[in-house]
Amino acid sequence: IPRRYHVAIMCYLAFFIKGWMVTNLWTMFVHILLAAEEVRKRDFPKSENWTVEDLETHLDLNYWGGAVIQLPAALITICFSPHKIMLLSVLLASLLHMLTPFIIHGPAVGTYFFLFTQGMVAGPLACACVSIWKEWGPARERTSLLVLAFSGQIINVYVTFSLSMFLAEAVGPFSIYYFAGMAGVLWCFLWNTLIYESPTSDPLITIEEQCYLEENITPDMKEKINLKSIPWKSIFLSMPVISLCLVFFTVSFLKKVMMFTGILINVQLMNKDYDPSFSHWVLTFNFVLLVPASGFLVDYLINREIFQRLTMRKFFCTGGFIMLALFLGFSFIPSDLSPIFCY
C-alpha cells in the first residue's frame, strides 16, 4: 500500500475515534433516560433530575466547542505542523474523554465547561487533516484521499453506536469512555511512529512514490500563506464559501436527525417482527461503499478529462441535495420498510 494511503487510513481512524467519543455521549444519555430509578441513583447520582433538554445541552456544548475553534484552528495549521496538531488534538481529546465519568458526577457548570473544552480540543482535527495533504496529496488523487480520510467521521455513527451500547451493557456504562480514550492514545502512538510530516522525511517511502509525489505536488501548494494578506472580507462574502457553509450545516443537522430517527425506526421494526439491526446494516453498507467510492469516481472522471474539477464539485454538492429530496418520496410509500429506503 502506498504511504499516502497509510496517511489517509490513519486520518480515517482519527475521525472514527473522534466520532466514537461523540457517540459515547449519546449512549450515556440513552442509558440515563432508559435506566431504572435505582440504577440512575447508583450510576448517575447527579442526573436524577436531568431532562431531555439538559442532555441536549450537553451535546450542543460539545458541538459548539468544535465550531468556535474552526477558524482559529485553520490559522494555527498555517503556522504550525498539521502532523503535530493532529497528534496533539487526538491525544488531548482522548485523555479528556477518559475523565468524563469523573466530571459528570460534579457540578453541572463544570460538566458544561468540560464538554465545551473537549469539543474545542477535538476541533482542529479537520483543519489539520486538510492541511496535511499539501505534502501528501497529489492533484490526481487528492479528492479520493480526502474522501477516504473524512469518511471515518461519517461511517463511525453506524458502527460505534451499536458498539458503545454493547460495551455499556456488557462491561458498564462508563467503560465506553475508557475504550474510546485508549483507542485514541493507541492511535497517537501509531501516528507518531508510522506517519511523517512529508515524503522527504519518511524513511519507509519508496523512491518511485517519492518521485511521483514530487512531480504531482506543485510548489504553490506548499507555499506559506501570509496571514496579513488573507482577504477576509472577500472570503466571508464569497458565494462558494457561503454555499459550502450551508452544505456542511445541512449535513451535520441531518447526521443528528439520523441518530434520533434511527432509534425510532429500529423500534418500529421490532414491533413489526423485523430484525432491529436491519436499518443499521443498510446504512453501514451504503456508507462503507458509497462514500469512499465517490472520491475515486471524481478523480477518475477528472483525470480522464471527462469533466473539469469545478464541474464535479458543483455536480456532487447540488446532486447530493437533489437526491436527498427525491428519496424523501419513499417515506410516502405505504410499507413498513419505506423508512429504510428513505433513510
- Position 186 scores a pLDDT of 96
Length of the chain: 343
- Answer whether residue 188 shows pLDDT above 90: yes
- List Cβ<8 Å contacts ≥24 apart for 314-319: 317/243, 317/244, 317/247
Q: Which of 230, 250, 284 is the last residue of a domain?
A: 230
Closest to 47 (Cα-Cα) out of 34, 65, 64, 60: 34
Least confident of 7-21, 59-73, 76-90: 59-73
Binning pLDDT at 50, 70 and 90, where does residue 189 land?
Answer: very high
Could you identify the residue written with the cell 446504512? Answer: 283
CA–CA separation, 279 and 262 (whole Å): 7
76 and 124 Cβ atoms separated by less than 8 Å: yes
Least confident of 109-118, 163-172, 298-307: 298-307
Most confident of 88-92, 138-142, 248-252, 267-271: 88-92
Q: Averaged over 215-221, what is the pLDDT? A: 68
* Rg of the chain over all Cα atoms, to the nearest angstrom: 22
Same domain assignment for residues 73 and 217:
yes
222 and 139 Cβ atoms separated by less than 8 Å: no
CA dihedral 294, 238, 235, 298 (to 10 degrees): 10
85 and 77 Cβ atoms separated by less than 8 Å: yes
Same domain assignment for residues 242 and 225:
no
Q: What percent of the chain clears pLDDT 90, i.e. is strictly above it?
A: 11
Burial category of 222 from C-beta neighbours within 10 Å (exposed 0-12, middle 13-18, buried 19 and up): exposed
- Position 274 scores a pLDDT of 47
Which pTM was predicted? Answer: 0.77
The CATH number covering residue 106 comes to 1.20.1250.20
Same domain assignment for residues 220 and 269:
no
CA–CA separation, 75 and 196 (whole Å): 21
Could you identify the residue written with the cell 468524563? Answer: 100
Same domain assignment for residues 45 and 59:
yes
Same domain assignment for residues 281 and 305:
yes
Comparing 284 with 323, the larger pLDDT belongs to 323
Closest to 114 (Cα-Cα) out of 99, 125, 134: 99
Same domain assignment for residues 172 and 263:
no
Q: Averaged over 7-36, what is the pLDDT? A: 80
- Position 190 scores a pLDDT of 94
Least confident of 52-56, 93-97, 296-300: 52-56
Binning pLDDT at 50, 70 and 90, where does residue 155 land?
Answer: confident
Average pLDDT of the chain is 76
- Position 184 scores a pLDDT of 93
- Answer whether residue 92 shows pLDDT above 60: yes
Q: Averaged over 95-104, what is the pLDDT? A: 86
Same domain assignment for residues 81 and 225:
yes
Binning pLDDT at 50, 70 and 90, where does residue 90 land?
Answer: very high
Provide the domain count of the chain: 2
342 and 330 Cβ atoms separated by less than 8 Å: yes
- Answer whether residue 207 shows pLDDT above 70: yes
40 and 48 Cβ atoms separated by less than 8 Å: yes
Most confident of 7-11, 70-74, 218-222: 7-11
Query: For the chain, where are the alpha helices, taking DSSP H only?
Result: 3-34, 37-43, 52-68, 70-79, 82-98, 100-103, 108-122, 124-136, 142-155, 157-170, 175-194, 207-216, 219-222, 232-236, 239-271, 278-303, 309-327, 338-342
Could you identify the residue written with the cell 462514500? Answer: 291
Domain that holds residue 319: 233-342
- Position 271 scores a pLDDT of 46
Same domain assignment for residues 213 and 257:
no
Same domain assignment for residues 56 and 97:
yes
Which helix (H) or strand (E) segment is 234 a member of?
helix 232-236
Binning pLDDT at 50, 70 and 90, where does residue 95 land?
Answer: very high
Q: pLDDT digits over 245-280, tens only?
A: 787 777 666 666 655 555 545 444 444 444 444 555
Least confident of 75-79, 251-255, 258-262, 334-338: 258-262
Q: Compute CA distances 170 → 45, 123, 176, 259, 267, whole Å.
A: 21, 31, 10, 22, 21
- Answer whether residue 291 shows pLDDT above 50: yes
**Residues with Cβ < 8 Å from 180, sequence gap 6 or more?**
17, 20, 21, 24, 94, 97, 164
Same domain assignment for residues 282 and 219:
no
CA dihedral 11, 7, 230, 120 (to 10 degrees): 30
Same domain assignment for residues 40 and 82:
yes
CA–CA separation, 245 and 190 (whole Å): 33
Q: Which of 199, 230, 261 is the last residue of a domain?
A: 230
Same domain assignment for residues 37 and 75:
yes
Q: Which of 175, 201, 230 is the last residue of a domain?
A: 230
CA–CA separation, 152 and 157 (whole Å): 9
Closest to 7 (Cα-Cα) out of 180, 213, 252, 299: 213
Reading phi first (left if > 0) and then psi (alpha if -120 to 50, else beta), residue 172 is in left
CA atoms within 13 A on the CB side of 326: 6
Binning pLDDT at 50, 70 and 90, where does residue 211 land?
Answer: confident
> Longest C-alpha distance within the chain, in Å?
65
Q: pLDDT digits over 29-72, tens only?
A: 766 666 555 555 555 555 555 566 666 777 778 888 888 888 88
